[in-house]
Amino acid sequence: MAGMAMRVAVLSLALLCMLIGVVHAQLSFNFYNSSCPNVEQIVRQAVSLKINQTFVTIPATLRLFFHDCFVQGCDASVMIASASGDAEKDSEDNLSLAGDGFDTVIKAKQAVEAQCPGKVSCADILAIAARDVVVLAGGQNFAVELGRRDGLISKASLVAGNLPGPNFNLSQLNTMFAKNNLTQTNMIALSGAHTVGFSHCSRFANRLYNFSATSKVDPSLDPKYAKQLMGACPQDVDPRIAVNMDPVTPRKMDNVYYQNLVNHKGLFTSDQVLYTDPLSQATVSGFANDRSGFNNAFGEAMVQLGRVGVKTGAAGEIRKDCTAFN
């Protein structure tokens, strides 16, 4: 009986690997070559126009892609609007997603629909837009795999526990990313997205005023940086106030984020731990000293992220409106 159970388990694992391979095989760099050959140019133009209106477009779109992929996969389910307030975007973890990210995808979808009606999924448009904001912020270009379909489910209840928290340690980060077939190196590279954008004070205030019984301020924070943050985020601060996640080059997609970690200027505990934990320190140091190495690793990690939970065929649809199921 034990031998038979082992054979069944091996066969099941083999079948799972085959299914995963099929899903990835259905994604390709030239998926729309015949149905919408100019899709990437159309999306890039819409993204560029949106960035010209507000820089927030860049971190907002990048964060939107990450939050989408980590909950039910990269299927644009985070885009759905619900009259009853129970869609993914309505969950507590997603309330801080900036509206400019949603607006970028909506406008890009409208531009694509005008030329290729019913051909391109919102999930693919979000993936392209996420790449484009990286490039337009000075990051390295990379090819995006396409062929995703839009998900058919979006529930706020499915979000909790599926997104990393600002107080996560290395083990917690690795566990969550591993669930999505992402390695520690992928995780450290994707954390580099914190080189652009901002955060509300409440997300890191515990490091400034109530860290532990022996130290009100997190000792892993550079003292001057801690004082700078206190100045921007006093204890009675307006909850709408936010600060740049990268205090040095907040508008550039570069490797300065990692240099900040080496200098103990990581905004979140989950940032600084990447350098203070000896199991990840070498990778952080490597990225801090090699922008090209970081760029390559980030591009590879984004491609891997874009494969998470991909839906094809009858498992999804191509929405006419990214905010509503067909």
Q: Give the active site residue among 24, 67, 200, 264.
A: 67
Is 246 known as a binding-site position? yes
Is 86 known as a binding-site position? no
Is 194 known as a binding-site position? yes
Is 299 known as a binding-site position? no
Is 185 known as a binding-site position? no
Is 40 known as a binding-site position? no
Name the nearest CA neighbour of 104 among 54, 148, 61.
Answer: 61
Residues in the chain: 326
Is 73 known as a binding-site position? yes
Is 195 known as a binding-site position? yes
* Cβ neighbours around 196 below 10 Å, total: 28
C-beta of residue 285 within 8 angstroms of C-beta of residue 260? no
CA dist 176 and 187 (Å) reads 10
**Is-catalytic flag, 24?**
no
The Cα-based distances of 287 to 161, 189, 261, 298 in angstroms read 29, 8, 11, 10
Is 164 known as a binding-site position? yes
Is 28 known as a binding-site position? no
Annotated binding site for Ca(2+): 68, 71, 73, 75, 77, 88, 195, 246, 249, 254
Give the catalytic positions in this structure: 67
Annotated binding site for substrate: 164
Annotated binding site: 68, 71, 73, 75, 77, 88, 164, 194-195, 246, 249, 254
